[in-house]
Protein backbone atom coordinates (compact mmCIF):
# COMPACT_ATOMS: atom_id res chain seq x y z
CA UNK A 1 0.00 0.00 0.00
CA UNK A 2 1.45 3.37 -0.95
CA UNK A 3 1.60 6.34 1.42
CA UNK A 4 -1.18 8.07 -0.50
CA UNK A 5 -3.43 5.01 -0.29
CA UNK A 6 -2.71 4.63 3.43
CA UNK A 7 -3.64 8.23 4.13
CA UNK A 8 -6.77 7.94 1.97
CA UNK A 9 -7.81 4.82 3.92
CA UNK A 10 -7.22 6.62 7.23
CA UNK A 11 -9.38 9.52 6.07
CA UNK A 12 -12.10 7.02 5.16
CA UNK A 13 -12.04 5.66 8.72
CA UNK A 14 -12.29 9.19 10.09
CA UNK A 15 -15.21 10.06 7.82
CA UNK A 16 -17.08 6.89 8.69
CA UNK A 17 -16.51 7.51 12.40
CA UNK A 18 -15.15 4.02 13.01
CA UNK A 19 -13.41 3.54 16.31
CA UNK A 20 -9.88 2.30 16.00
CA UNK A 21 -8.38 0.14 18.71
CA UNK A 22 -5.19 1.01 20.58
CA UNK A 23 -3.00 -1.38 18.58
CA UNK A 24 -4.07 0.14 15.27
CA UNK A 25 -3.49 3.66 16.58
CA UNK A 26 -0.02 2.74 17.84
CA UNK A 27 0.83 1.14 14.50
CA UNK A 28 -0.30 4.28 12.72
CA UNK A 29 1.82 6.41 15.06
CA UNK A 30 4.81 4.22 14.23
CA UNK A 31 4.10 4.72 10.53
CA UNK A 32 4.03 8.49 11.02
CA UNK A 33 7.44 8.38 12.73
CA UNK A 34 8.84 6.26 9.88
CA UNK A 35 7.45 8.68 7.32
CA UNK A 36 9.25 11.49 9.14
CA UNK A 37 12.53 9.55 9.34
CA UNK A 38 12.36 8.91 5.59
CA UNK A 39 11.77 12.56 4.73
CA UNK A 40 8.07 12.14 4.01
CA UNK A 41 7.11 15.09 6.18
CA UNK A 42 3.74 15.92 4.61
CA UNK A 43 2.63 12.28 4.94
CA UNK A 44 3.80 12.22 8.55
CA UNK A 45 1.94 15.47 9.26
CA UNK A 46 -1.29 14.13 7.69
CA UNK A 47 -1.20 10.92 9.66
CA UNK A 48 -0.36 12.67 12.94
CA UNK A 49 -3.14 15.19 12.40
CA UNK A 50 -5.53 12.28 12.00
CA UNK A 51 -4.14 10.62 15.14
CA UNK A 52 -4.61 13.79 17.20
CA UNK A 53 -8.35 13.19 17.08
CA UNK A 54 -7.89 9.80 18.73
CA UNK A 55 -4.83 10.36 20.90
CA UNK A 56 -5.20 14.00 21.88
CA UNK A 57 -3.88 13.47 25.41
CA UNK A 58 -0.55 12.03 24.26
CA UNK A 59 2.25 14.60 24.20
CA UNK A 60 4.36 12.60 21.76
CA UNK A 61 1.73 13.04 19.03
CA UNK A 62 2.06 16.83 19.26
CA UNK A 63 5.85 16.58 19.46
CA UNK A 64 6.09 14.42 16.35
CA UNK A 65 3.57 16.64 14.54
CA UNK A 66 5.65 19.67 15.46
CA UNK A 67 8.77 18.01 14.06
CA UNK A 68 7.01 17.23 10.76
CA UNK A 69 5.78 20.82 10.50
CA UNK A 70 9.19 22.19 11.49
CA UNK A 71 10.81 20.17 8.69
CA UNK A 72 8.39 21.82 6.24
CA UNK A 73 9.19 25.33 7.52
CA UNK A 74 5.76 25.64 9.18
CA UNK A 75 7.36 27.27 12.22
CA UNK A 76 4.30 28.82 13.87
CA UNK A 77 2.33 25.57 13.68
CA UNK A 78 5.34 23.57 14.89
CA UNK A 79 5.85 25.92 17.83
CA UNK A 80 2.19 25.57 18.83
CA UNK A 81 2.45 21.78 18.79
CA UNK A 82 5.74 21.76 20.71
CA UNK A 83 4.06 23.95 23.35
CA UNK A 84 1.12 21.53 23.53
CA UNK A 85 3.53 18.64 24.00
CA UNK A 86 5.22 20.44 26.89
CA UNK A 87 1.85 21.34 28.45
CA UNK A 88 0.87 17.66 28.31
CA UNK A 89 4.10 16.67 30.06
CA UNK A 90 6.52 15.55 27.35
CA UNK A 91 9.71 14.56 29.21
CA UNK A 92 12.10 14.97 26.24
CA UNK A 93 14.43 17.99 26.63
CA UNK A 94 14.89 18.21 22.85
CA UNK A 95 11.46 19.80 22.49
CA UNK A 96 12.95 23.00 23.95
CA UNK A 97 15.73 23.04 21.36
CA UNK A 98 13.19 22.76 18.56
CA UNK A 99 10.99 25.41 20.18
CA UNK A 100 14.02 27.70 20.31
CA UNK A 101 14.77 27.11 16.64
CA UNK A 102 11.18 27.92 15.64
CA UNK A 103 11.25 31.06 17.76
CA UNK A 104 14.43 32.20 15.99
CA UNK A 105 12.79 31.73 12.58
CA UNK A 106 9.76 33.67 13.82
CA UNK A 107 11.93 36.46 15.31
CA UNK A 108 10.70 35.68 18.84
CA UNK A 109 14.11 36.12 20.40
CA UNK A 110 13.00 36.42 24.05
CA UNK A 111 11.09 33.13 23.74
CA UNK A 112 14.03 31.55 21.89
CA UNK A 113 16.32 32.58 24.73
CA UNK A 114 14.03 30.97 27.33
CA UNK A 115 13.54 27.78 25.33
CA UNK A 116 17.24 27.29 24.56
CA UNK A 117 18.26 27.99 28.15
CA UNK A 118 15.64 25.49 29.33
CA UNK A 119 17.01 22.90 26.90
CA UNK A 120 20.57 23.47 28.10
CA UNK A 121 19.49 23.23 31.72
CA UNK A 122 17.55 20.00 31.21
CA UNK A 123 20.04 18.54 28.76
CA UNK A 124 22.93 18.92 31.15
CA UNK A 125 21.08 17.39 34.11
CA UNK A 126 18.93 14.68 32.51
CA UNK A 127 20.65 11.34 33.19
CA UNK A 128 19.31 9.75 30.01
CA UNK A 129 20.17 12.67 27.75
CA UNK A 130 23.63 12.37 26.28
CA UNK A 131 23.61 14.29 23.04
CA UNK A 132 26.65 16.55 23.20
CA UNK A 133 26.16 17.74 19.58
CA UNK A 134 22.68 19.04 20.43
CA UNK A 135 24.00 20.84 23.50
CA UNK A 136 26.73 22.45 21.38
CA UNK A 137 24.16 23.43 18.76
CA UNK A 138 21.95 25.07 21.40
CA UNK A 139 24.94 26.96 22.83
CA UNK A 140 25.78 28.18 19.32
CA UNK A 141 22.22 29.35 18.63
CA UNK A 142 22.09 31.13 21.94
CA UNK A 143 25.47 32.84 21.88
CA UNK A 144 25.76 33.57 18.16
CA UNK A 145 22.17 34.41 17.24
CA UNK A 146 19.82 35.03 20.12
CA UNK A 147 21.93 36.97 22.62
CA UNK A 148 23.36 39.41 20.02
CA UNK A 149 19.85 40.11 18.67
CA UNK A 150 18.53 40.72 22.18
CA UNK A 151 21.47 43.03 22.94
CA UNK A 152 20.83 44.95 19.72
CA UNK A 153 17.16 45.26 20.60
CA UNK A 154 18.06 46.65 24.03
CA UNK A 155 20.48 49.16 22.49
CA UNK A 156 17.85 50.32 20.01
CA UNK A 157 15.30 50.70 22.79
CA UNK A 158 17.66 52.80 24.91
CA UNK A 159 18.63 55.08 21.99
Domains parsed from the chain with CATH numbers: 1-90 (1.25.40.10), 94-159 (no CATH)
Please report the pLDDT score of residue 133 as a whole number: 84
Instruction: Tell me if 90 sits within 8 A of 60, measured CB to CB.
Output: yes
Please report the pLDDT score of residue 57 as a whole number: 93
Instruction: Tell me if 131 sits within 8 A of 123, measured CB to CB.
Output: yes
Beta carbons within 10 angstroms of residue 124's beta carbon: 10
Q: What is the pLDDT of residues 85-134, one digit of tens each?
A: 999 999 899 999 999 999 999 999 999 999 999 999 988 776 556 677 88
pLDDT band of 47, cuts 50, 70, 90: very high
Instruction: Tell me if 86 sits within 8 A of 95, measured CB to CB.
Output: yes
Mean pLDDT of 16-31: 80
Instruction: Tell me if 83 sits within 8 A of 99, measured CB to CB.
Output: yes
Amino acid sequence: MTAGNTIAAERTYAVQGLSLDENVLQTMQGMAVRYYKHGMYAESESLLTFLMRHLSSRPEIYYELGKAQHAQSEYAAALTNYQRAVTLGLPDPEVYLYMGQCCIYLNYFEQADKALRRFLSLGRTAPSFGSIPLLVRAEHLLTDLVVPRLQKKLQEASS
